[in-house]
Amino acid sequence: MEREWGTRTGQAMAGILGLLDGLLDGPDEDRALASDAERLAMTEAAIEAADRLRILAGVLVAETEAHGSDLAVTGLGVVSWLADTRRMTSREVWALVHEGRDLAALPALRAAGLAGRVSPPQVRSISRVLAQLPDELGTEQLRQAELDMVAYATEFDSQGLSTLSEHLLEVLAPRSSRSRRPSGWSANCAAPARTGN
């Protein structure tokens, strides 16, 4: 399929792919010259880039499906198209679709993920926590919960974030929260233990 890059996002993707292709010309020799600090920094940068691209991929897959671009261009649904062109399983594609759909409804989380402040596993945990909140919470409370969870992502890994649903219920809707707390919570509703490095 011939690519047309009429958008900033498309041009950025072409640039990223071009830069990655450029690494194929002797990357081992290049990295052999790196200092220990530079090697560590490159590793961290590569992980951040992969995380941000994974989140962008979910957003783009969901947008492709929502706009019907998959059917318009290929005649296939996004699951079949990616299974054929990228050799992805339907489960892998559906994971991207669901992540993208969740992010479409959670603008603060989407922005944090695309900016690299929240990793894909944290995005999944936050989405699950927010989905557990009761329907009777108002839009303002749900937006505040989203902002709170994004803020917690600076302190907690994905597992720690998964335990925060009860805390959010107690803060946002104390009368409707369950009396049972998840493991790791104290009686005064302190946050779960943070994971160390």
pLDDT, tens only, 119-132:
999 999 999 989 88
- What local confidence, expressed as pLDDT, does residue 68 receive? 93
Residues of the chain with pLDDT under 50: 1, 176-197
Residue 143: CB atoms within 10 A of its CB come to: 14
Q: Rounded to whole angstroms, how far apart are CA atoms 97 and 118?
A: 18
Q: Rounded to whole angstroms, how far apart are CA atoms 188 and 82?
A: 48
